[in-house]
């Protein structure tokens, strides 16, 4: 018996015995796919025909002028099918599910992006699909729930614990421990037990591979810095993967600063001093927990970053000094969101806007000959309810009130 899936002191496989054989099979199938060039080819083909890969690299000319420093480039993961980078991982895992011969997929979702992506994949591949979502998130994200159900998925509102993402993950694990013979758990991020961190990071590396080529083709040089928001860390690992071997490219992960690191109401595991080494949901990593080891409630304006743990791979890269971590407060996020919409006509998801915050702080300090790259992990326009509310938009509120009255009539 040996430990597997470690990145420095982080990672591992803390799984209940009932899932031992299931993980054996998953590791076997994943290892085979990883070493099979045909698998990657079929993955890229699928993503270029069913989604919009390669996603474009956009030069943000107006923001660059306004901020007066480095040239700002945006990797447009928002233009993926279903509107976020989540589709990459999900479609890739869908291909693995076919290889394993399973007929049902389950997934957790916070904001609903990963749930919608998984329900979409299930519809395309003909799998049964159940999505676990914290009751509080079901309340906040009705439009995504609507689409998941339309796509044929059963959405289960999880009433346990804090009724958010971590509770949805627990519920998905419980389902898997019962239905492992027919079912694959499509974990949405680079967390959880081995092989998930490696597998999701590998599937998301498609972002970084494209972005590196595009930077050279369009900018003529690599960026000085690459920014990505970090919840679990899948979009960040995706884009960072393209630049890990370029020591002159600084990699910056931006966590949810919520109401401010000092308030305790945030989700910054590495950028704050509140994260401690622990073991939860199958992996060893940095968690927001109390001195007894109980997980704390987290806070962020963006549901997708509102999570207690973070990728073991990112923790290791942080320890090695390869990735720097910063945080962006809810307030800063809304400013960056507004500025990007008005200057570029591009609407980032609130998650993605965290990366923009830090890039806007640092771009003016760089030379005009240099470039920075932001991973725009998803689009914000489809989260109109959340964003309109975060902007406290009065006309929107009136519209909702009127709509409510019409339904009451």
Partner 1 sequence: MLEETIRKAKTENDILLMTHLVLGYPSFEENRKVIKEMANAGVELIELQIPFSEPTADGPVILKANSQSLENGTKVAECLEFAEEICRTHPEVSFLFMTYYNIIFVYGEREFAARSKQIGIRGFIIPDLPPDEAESWLSECREQELESIFIFTPTHSSQRLKELAEVSHGFVYCVGRRGVTGNRTEFDASMTEQIQKYRSATDLPLALGFGVQEKADIDFLMGKIDIAVIGSKLIVLHEASGAEKVGDFLRSLRNRN
Q: For residues 409 and 404, give the distance between their C-alpha atoms in angstroms, rounded to a whole number.
A: 9
Half-sphere exposure of 265 (CA within 13 A, CB side): 10
Dihedral pair phi/psi, residue 399, rounded to 5°: -60, -45
Residue corresponding to tokens 């609903």: 112
Interface residue with partner 1 among 49, 291, 406, 408 (CB under 8 A) is 291
CA atoms lying within 13 Å on the CB side of residue 391: 19
Q: Does 120 sit near partner 1 (CB under 8 A)? A: no
Q: How far is the CB of 156 from partner 1 (least distance, A)?
A: 13
CB 9 to partner 1: min, Å: 12
Tell me if residue 182 falls in helix, strand or coil: coil
DSSP per position, 270-299: SSSS-EEEEEETTEEEEEEB-TTSPBPP--
The region of 46-54, 59-67, 195-203, 270-278 touching partner 1 under the rule CB under 8 A is 270-278
The residue within the footprint of partner 1, chosen from 10, 13, 226, 380 (CB under 8 A), is 13
- 15 three-state secondary structure: coil
Does 293 sit near partner 1 (CB under 8 A)?
yes
Token code pair at residue 34: 């990883």
Task: In angstroms, give the least distance from the CB of 176 to partner 1.
Answer: 10
Q: Binding partner 1 by CB under 8 A: which of 8, 9, 16, 213?
A: 16
**Residues touching partner 1: how many (CB under 8 A)?**
40
How near is the Cβ of 21 to partner 1 at its closest, in Å? 5
86 is catalytic: yes
Span near partner 1 by CB under 8 A; candidates 1-9, 67-75, 144-152, 370-378: 1-9
Active-site residue, from 75, 86, 166, 284: 86
Known active-site residue 102: no
404 binds partner 1 (CB under 8 A): no
Part of the chain binding partner 1 (CB under 8 A), chosen from 148-156, 288-296, 334-342, 375-383: 288-296
Alpha-carbon separation of residue 243 from 14, 160, 236, 316 (angstroms): 30, 40, 11, 16
Question: Considering the complex, what minimum distance in angstroms separates the CB of residue 179 from partner 1?
Answer: 7
Nearer to partner 1 (CB atom), residue 1 or residue 217: 1
What are the helix (H) ranges across 20-156?
Answer: 20-34, 37-49, 61-67, 86-100, 113-125, 135-140, 142-150
Select the residue interacting with partner 1 from 7, 10, 22, 234 (CB under 8 A). 22
Query: Of 68-76, 279-287, 332-340, 376-384, which segment contacts partner 1 by CB under 8 A?
Result: 279-287
26, two tokens = 């998953």
- The one-character DSSP state at 244 is T
Cis peptide bond upstream of 195, omega within 30: yes
Does the active-site annotation cover 382? Answer: no
Sole residue written with tokens 């309810």: 385
Nearer to partner 1, 13 or 155 (CB): 13
Shortest separation between residue 346's beta carbon and partner 1, angstroms = 37
Q: Counting contacts by CB under 8 A, is residue 9 touching partner 1?
A: no
Token pair of 47, please? 């993503």
Cα–Cα distance, 111 to 98 (Å, whole number): 27
CB of 135 to partner 1, least distance (A): 13
d(CA 188, CA 200) in angstroms, rounded, equals 8
Judged by CB under 8 A, does residue 182 bind partner 1?
no
Q: Determine, following the binding rule CB under 8 A, whether residue 408 of this chain makes contact with partner 1.
A: no
Q: What is the DSSP letter of 55?
A: P
Rounded Cα distance, 355 and 251, in Å: 11
Return the residue of 7, 10, 12, 39 that touches partner 1, per CB under 8 A. Answer: 12
> Could you say which of 51, 170, 219, 343 contacts partner 1 (CB under 8 A)?
170
Tokens at 302, concatenated: 């963006």
| Strand 6-7 relative to strand 275-280, pairing | unpaired
Catalytic residue among 77, 108, 198, 326: 108
**321 beta partners:** none
Over the window 142 to 161, marking each residue x when it contacts partner 1 by CB under 8 A and - when it does not, the resulting string is ------------------xx
**How near is the Cβ of 187 to partner 1 at its closest, in Å?**
13
Is residue 276 within the footprint of partner 1 (CB under 8 A)? yes
Judged by the rule CB under 8 A, the positions of this chain that interact with partner 1 are 1-4, 12-22, 160-161, 166, 170, 173-174, 177-181, 276-282, 287, 289, 291-295
Catalytic residues: 86, 108, 377
């Amino acid at each position: 018996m040996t430990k597997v899936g470690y990145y420095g002191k982080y990672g591992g496989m803390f799984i209940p015995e009932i899932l031992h054989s299931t993980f054996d099979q998953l590791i076997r199938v994943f290892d085979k796919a990883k070493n099979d060039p045909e698998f990657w080819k079929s993955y890229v083909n699928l993503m270029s025909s069913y989604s919009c890969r390669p996603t474009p690299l956009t030069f943000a000319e107006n923001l660059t002028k306004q901020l007066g420093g480095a040239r700002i480039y945006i990797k447009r993961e928002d233009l993926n099918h279903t509107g976020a980078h989540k589709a990459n991982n999900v479609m890739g895992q869908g291909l693995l599910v076919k290889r394993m011969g399973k007929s049902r997929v389950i997934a957790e979702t916070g904001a609903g992006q990963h749930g919608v992506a998984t329900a979409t994949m299930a519809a395309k591949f003909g799998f049964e699909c159940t999505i676990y979502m914290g009751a509080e998130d079901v309340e906040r994200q009705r439009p995504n729930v609507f689409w998941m159900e339309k796509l044929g998925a059963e959405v289960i509102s999880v009433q346990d614990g804090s009724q958010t993402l971590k509770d949805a993950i627990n519920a998905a694990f419980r389902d898997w421990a019962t239905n492992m013979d027919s079912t694959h758990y499509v974990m949405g991020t680079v967390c959880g037990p081995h092989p998930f961190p490696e597998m999701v990071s590998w599937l998301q590396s498609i972002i970084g591979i494209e972005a590196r080529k595009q930077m050279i083709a369009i900018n003529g040089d690599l960026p000085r810095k690459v920014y990505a928001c970090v919840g679990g860390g899948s979009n960040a690992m995706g884009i960072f993967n393209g630049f890990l071997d370029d020591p002159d490219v600084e990699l910056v992960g931006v966590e949810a600063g919520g109401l401010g690191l000092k308030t305790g109401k945030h989700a910054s595991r590495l950028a704050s001093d509140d994260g401690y080494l622990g073991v939860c949901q199958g992996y060893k990593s940095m968690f927001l927990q109390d001195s007894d080891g109980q997980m704390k409630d987290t806070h962020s304006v963006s549901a997708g970053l509102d999570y207690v743990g973070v990728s073991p791979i990112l923790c290791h890269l942080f320890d090695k000094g390869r990735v720097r971590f910063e945080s962006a407060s809810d307030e800063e996020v809304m400013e960056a969101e507004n500025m990007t919409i008005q200057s570029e006509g591009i609407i980032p998801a609130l998650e993605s806007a965290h990366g923009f915050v830090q890039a806007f702080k640092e771009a003016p300090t760089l030379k005009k000959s240099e470039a920075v790259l932001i991973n725009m992990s998803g689009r914000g326009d489809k989260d109109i309810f959340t964003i309109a509310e975060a902007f406290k938009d009065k006309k929107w509120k009136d519209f909702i009130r009127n709509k409510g009255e019409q339904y009451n009539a």
